[in-house]
Amino acid sequence: MDYLIVAIVALAAAALGTPFLQVFGQGRASGYLLIVALLIALAGVVSNTLYPQPSGSLGPLFSSDALGDLFAIVTVSVSLFVAVVSLSLVKPSANSPFYYSLLSFAALGMVLLSYSADLLMLFVSWELMSVPTYALAGFQKKKEESNEAAVKYAILGALSSAIILVGISLVYGLTGTTGIFAAAKSLSSQPFNPVASVAVVLFIVGFGFKMSVVPFHMWVPDAYEGAPTPIATLFAAGTKKAGFVAAIRVVLAISTFYAVAEQSSIFSLANVFAVLAIATMTLGNFAALTQKSITRLLAYSSIAQAGYMLIGFVIYSYAQGNPIYAAQGVLGLTGTLFHVVNHSIMKGAAFVAAGVVVLKLGRGDMAALNGLGRRMPITAFSLTVSLLALAGVPPLSGFWSKLILFLSVLNGPYAWLAVAGVLNSALSMGYYGLMIKRMYLDEAEDATQAREPIPVVVVLAVLVALMIAIGIFPGPVISFSQAAVPSAGP
Amino acid sequence: MPYLLSLIIFVPIAGSLLTYAVGRIDRRAAGYAALAVSAVVLVVSLSVFWSVYSNVPPAGQYSLMESHPWISLQGFKLDYLLGVDGLSSPLVLLTAILGVLAVFGARGLVNDGQPTFYALLLFVEGSVMGAFTSLDLILFYLFWEITLVPIFFLVGIWGGEKRRYAALKFIIFTFAGSAIMLLGFLALYLGVPTHSFNIPDLAGKVPVGLQYLPLLAIFIGFAVEMPAFPFHSWQPDAYEQAPGPVNVLLAGVVPKFAGYGVIRIAIGLFPQASHEYAWAFIIFGGASMFYGAVVALLASDLKRMFAYTSMSHMGFVVLGAFATVASGNPLGMQGAVLQMFAHGLAIGALFMLSGFVQQRTGTREIGRLGGLGQRMPVAAMLLVFSSCAAMGLPPFANFLAEVMVISGGLSASSIVGVTILVPVITGGYFLWMLKRTVFAASDQTKVEDINTSDGIALAFYIVPLVLVVVFSFLILSPAAPIALQAAQAGGLP
């Protein structure tokens, strides 16, 4: 746990320290400080992964396991590249230090959330992550859309927090504990109680907001479009993943001990997830087809991707009552975790590229992409690679995680989900292909070249290299994802 | 040489990066670099072809195999597995020949952004090679998919007037088709107890109950790629808009993915289901043959006509292959293999010529190309020759292939005899086209004819077609074990 303390302290120090840098004026010093802090934090969580420490030195509130490591690495890395691109995408102003401070708080919240093993700790981290992002979403305070995005996001975010809190209090009332493992175990020794099922539903709703699961997705397109693009990147690649880790830690952990409903019942957890998965991917893809704004399109595509990730939840929770599907359940959740990693990289790259386009060309509609291949070659190439990866073209990273997800459900009662997923992937080529067509095949009205800022180029290059490298040698990341799949127990 | 097959995949792919890099320094050098790379691939492919011919592997076994574990996890295993046999070696050779010729042809037909064009062309060549030599279903799918992306750019950037529409339609159709095919592969992986994507491991082990739905899913993927009626809507647009050298690969080798897949995967892995429903596939192939031929008759654009010709000729491949499964007579499938080789060369020549004709006369409309015989005598002569090949006149290999396919089909059912009308219609529309272009009188002025080197390059499409008739054993005898195996799957000796 020592390495984690390093990470936590570094992020907390940056969060509290950057505002003081305001005395040095509007410079980027606070940004650099945060980058250093995030690098230290990344080193901390990576060390914790490589040299696992015995759990428990931070008390029962945390569990230092591979699942936490995976999400901590993802969220810290995402925060890191968001911080780097913010250097060029966010205009330095008197408020810059606060921007980076808020970012740092959010990163800290996500790290703590990744390792939380206690419902209260989880809730506190959840809020630590969420509250700064409400402010960040509205950071361009003179822009009407930014304000609208912030208000919409804050209200729905507060609502989801409240819902989670009700769920926590129900679980506490039933079991007398807030430890996730202890609560789940205690539930399993009790007779079936519909109140526990209500609590699980509340958790799914509350986490579902962050995971951008249909029908809790309404805020997503507005917030992604209105927020500054680095923050939209953070939402898509970072906080959304926090929703997933919370759902895995709480909902799936409870499901390993406690049948939320009779397995044969139509309201079984697996069925609920299956309906959410197919609604999410289908609605996301269909809505994306008709979007006129790049960030809005990417937002809907991000919703669709959440639908693919839920496939792993379906088979994992189904396997709890049907041991013959145990191996498939593990494979499915492996696919989810692998897709979480990939999605952060792919969507991160796509949003960063969209951010540069908006910044340099001053517009974010789809027509801004026309002729981008000549105007901003590196951005256009990176965006193309990330779109192909999102569509699932081999040998890019996104292909493998989708393959594993579809493979995991193809055998058994949810085979139709795999079919739906494949058809959705094919459908998604409709809008991804359209974007690529605009960049390389269509001509721009104004063909002047735009300069691409160095920090952005570096981030894009790293992300593209990762997409290709994971695509060609997916083995290590899949193994890591598989190791992170929680087994029954703490 | 143990790594021969990896070489023919990765030399073009690495060469594509090299060509691009060279092109950044000197634009003209990119063409020479690309030509050199494709020539190396041709030499290696010849040696691959020869090593299969000189030592034909029995059915179900492969030459020059390479096997490395790629992903190995609990519940998910994947190998990098390559190998060739008498089915894939002619296709490898065809790809290598067309690769050189396409690169050579691009010299005169493509003006802008040559280095990128050559780089993409070589990338297509490498990934096509990968698809033909992969013995792992996911690897096959991977190479299949990465072929589509560069073709999207090649059609969309260097194509004709409606190139953007054609390119987008192409990628959406083929991507959807291959996604459905992938489902079939996954179902196969789960259904077979050994849990493998390796074709040699799966062959003969697929339970009969599991054969029907995956066969349907996989065949839909092939039917889109081929394309076969009624999945062909993308094809006339893409073929019409693509520039000539891209057509050479797009029409010459890419449909062979599907032809190859039908024989290797659909028939090879699902023999019982293929046998049971062979009649349906024969009707399916026959429908493409007729539909393509009839629509080609009505086409007013040279390239559109060739596109439908291509569809009609790929119908022969399906019909021939399934005729063997239905009847137990290996003739049909051997004819199908020969047809794939012959069609690739003939259609390549036709598309290159249409590219030259359009470049020099400014149109591809058959009605406005009167007097081509006087206006471009050399091109006109080559057009006559390659049309003769495409319509299946002796002494071209296409004749032999079509005879074999139709007589193979007759042994399945005498009703298949009606397909003899297809070569008749094909002959009709080609002659009519020639009458309206080459042999029509015209008062239009003479235009610059194709130059000697391009003329010689075009001869390289046509001469092998004659040679293959004389030395037909070069292709037919390596293909014999596969055809015999498929024939036995039909239940007859």
A490 pLDDT band, cuts 50/70/90, is very low
Angle between helices B254-261 and B212-225 (to 10 degrees): 160
A-chain residues near B72 (CB < 8 A): 475
> Within the 465-484 window of chain A, which residues sit less than 8 Å (CB to CB) from chain B?
474-475, 478-479, 482
Measure the CA–CA gap between A293 and A415, rounded to whole angstroms: 34
The pLDDT assigned to A262 comes to: 64
The partner residue sitting opposite B142, judged by closest CB among A394, A426, A434, is A394
Measure the CA–CA gap between A311 and A316, rounded to whole angstroms: 9
Greater model confidence, A469 or B416: A469
- The answer, yes or no, to whether residue B490 has pLDDT greater than 70, is no
In this structure, what is the dihedral angle of CA atoms A107, A111, A114, A117, given to the nearest 10 degrees?
-130
Most confident of A49-53, A360-364, B121-125: B121-125
The pLDDT assigned to A327 comes to: 87
B-chain residues near A485 (CB < 8 A): none
Within 10 angstroms of residue B140's Cβ, the number of other Cβ atoms is 25
Contact B63, B55 (CB under 8 A): yes
Domain boundaries defined on chain B: 1-276, 280-493
The partner residue sitting opposite A474, judged by closest CB among B71, B183, B186, is B71
Which chain B residue lies closest to A438 (C-alpha atoms)?
B164
- The answer, yes or no, to whether residue A131 has pLDDT greater than 80, is yes
**CA distances from residue B433 to A390, B301, B421, B436 in whole angstroms, order as listed:** 46, 10, 18, 5
Which chain A residue lies closest to B180 (C-alpha atoms)?
A422
Half-sphere exposure of B102 (CA within 13 A, CB side): 36
> Per DSSP, what are the bridge partners of residue B84?
B63
Measure the CA–CA gap between B422 and A298, rounded to whole angstroms: 49
- The answer, yes or no, to whether residue B162 has pLDDT greater than 80, is yes
Which of A331, A431, A436, A482 has the most B C-beta neighbours within 10 Å, making it the best mutation to test the interface with B?
A436
In this structure, what is the dihedral angle of CA atoms B90, B94, B97, B99, given to the nearest 10 degrees?
-130
Buried b (16+ CB within 10 A) or exposed e, A287-317: bbeebebbbbbbbbbbbbbbbbbbbbbbbbb
Buried b (16+ CB within 10 A) or exposed e, B30-42: bbebbbebbebbb
Which chain B residue lies closest to A481 (C-alpha atoms)?
B73
A489 pLDDT band, cuts 50/70/90, is very low
CA distance A411 to chain B (A): 7
Residues 6+ apart with CB under 8 A from A11: A37, A38, A41, A104, A107, A108, A111
What mean pLDDT comes out for the span A205-222?
Answer: 91
Interfacial residues of B (vs A; Cβ cutoff 8 Å): 70-76, 138, 141-142, 145-146, 148-149, 152-153, 156-157, 163-164, 167-168, 171-172, 175-176, 179-180, 182-183, 186-187, 189-191
In this structure, what is the dihedral angle of CA atoms B364, B370, B375, B380, given to the nearest 10 degrees?
70
**CA distances from residue A431 to B149, B162, B169 in whole angstroms, order as listed:** 15, 19, 12
Q: Which amino acid, residue A173?
A: G
Contact B151, B250 (CB under 8 A): yes
**CB spacing of B179 vs A425 below 8 angstroms:** yes
Measure the CA–CA gap between B115 and A148, rounded to whole angstroms: 48
What mean pLDDT comes out for the span A15-39?
Answer: 83
Which chain B residue lies closest to A331 (C-alpha atoms)?
B75
Q: What pLDDT digit, counting tens, does each position of A375-425 carry?
A: 999 999 999 999 999 999 988 999 999 999 999 998 888 989 999 999 999
- φ/ψ of residue B449, rounded to 5: -80, 170
The pLDDT assigned to B206 comes to: 85
CA distance B74 to chain A (A): 8
Mean pLDDT estimate for chain B: 89
Domain boundaries defined on chain A: 270-490
CA distance B142 to chain A (A): 5
B-chain residues near A411 (CB < 8 A): 190-191
Helices (H), B362-472: 372-375, 377-390, 397-412, 421-436, 452-470
The pLDDT assigned to B190 comes to: 84
- The answer, yes or no, to whether residue A28 has pLDDT greater than 90, is no
Which chain B residue lies closest to A472 (C-alpha atoms)?
B70
The pLDDT assigned to A69 comes to: 92
Measured between CB atoms, does A444 come within 8 Å of chain B?
no
Which chain A residue lies closest to B190 (C-alpha atoms)?
A411
B-chain residues near A437 (CB < 8 A): 156, 164, 167-168
